[in-house]
Amino acid sequence: MQDVASQQEPPGDDALMLAWADGDATAFETLYRRHRDKLYRFLVRQVRSTALAEEIFQDVWQRVIAARGGWRPDALFTTWLYHIAHNRLADHWRAARHRPPPPEDAELRTARIVDPDDPERQLSQFEQRRRLQLALDGLPDEQREVLLLRLEQELTLEEIGRITGVGRETVKSRLRYAMDKLRATLNP
């Protein structure tokens, strides 16, 4: 006979956040594990520097920790988390007034990645990723942000609108323009 607890669905993000606000540290650990990888990848893709992404990543989670007592489930936790990340990125770009260049050792880092595939396939995949990254880098910031939030984070248009502070139709428009530009760049 199966245990009743093993049949229950895992708690949602809102329930975990409320439990953590009430002092349940394991709820925060679950929330962190659930969102850390996607958030980190989003930040790395935005700033193109692992060191800077790690700094912003830590800052986002510190802000989540600082706001736990006043958090209310007015929006999805994911929307709230990425809104914090969006604001932190905006703060960074305002302060920096430019996008930093890629790390000087970026090619060395890439060369050290061990891939079990044969060299020709590896080169082909690398070239495809490089072309995609260059195409993404060529997009305006607003278009790249909504595209990454939609495709990598799988957020809805409404959630992206709340994060970026624009309407649903503007999000749709930015996505359409971004996809058109990517197609034109990748399939000349």
**17-36 per-position pLDDT tens digit:** 889 888 889 999 999 999 99
Domain C-terminal end among 51, 83, 105: 105
| Dist CA 181 CA 185 (whole Å) | 6
Mean pLDDT of 84-98: 84
Mean pLDDT of 89-100: 76
92 and 164 in a single domain? The answer is no
70 and 157 in a single domain? The answer is no
48: alpha, beta or left? (left if phi > 0; alpha if psi -120 to 50) = left
183 and 152 in a single domain? The answer is yes
Burial of 42 per CB tally in 10 Å (0-12, 13-18, 19+):
buried
Per-residue DSSP letter, 74: T
| The pLDDT of residue 115 | 57
| The pLDDT of residue 1 | 46
88 and 50 in a single domain? The answer is yes
Q: Are 147 and 139 in contact (CB under 8 A)?
A: yes
Query: What domain range includes position 130?
Result: 114-188
The answer, yes or no, to whether residue 5 has pLDDT greater than 90, is no
With CA atoms as reference, report the closest residue to 175 among 138, 154, 150, 156. 150
Contact partners, residue 10, CB within 8 Å, separation at least 6: 30
Mean pLDDT (the chain) is 85
77: alpha, beta or left? (left if phi > 0; alpha if psi -120 to 50) = alpha
Contact partners, residue 109, CB within 8 Å, separation at least 6: 103
The answer, yes or no, to whether residue 116 has pLDDT greater than 90, is no
| Dist CA 56 CA 42 (whole Å) | 11
Contact partners, residue 139, CB within 8 Å, separation at least 6: 147, 178, 181, 182
The reported pTM is 0.58
Q: Are 165 and 156 in contact (CB under 8 A)?
A: no
Q: Are 72 and 22 in contact (CB under 8 A)?
A: no
119 and 88 in a single domain? The answer is no
Mean pLDDT of 156-167: 94
Domain C-terminal end among 73, 105, 137: 105
Mean pLDDT of 39-61: 93
Give 66-87 pLDDT, tens digit per residue: 888 777 888 888 999 999 999 9
Longest distance between any two alpha carbons in the chain, whole Å: 62
Question: pLDDT category, 6, cuts 50, 70, 90?
Answer: low
CATH of residue 83's domain is: 1.10.1740.10
8: alpha, beta or left? (left if phi > 0; alpha if psi -120 to 50) = beta
48 and 96 in a single domain? The answer is yes
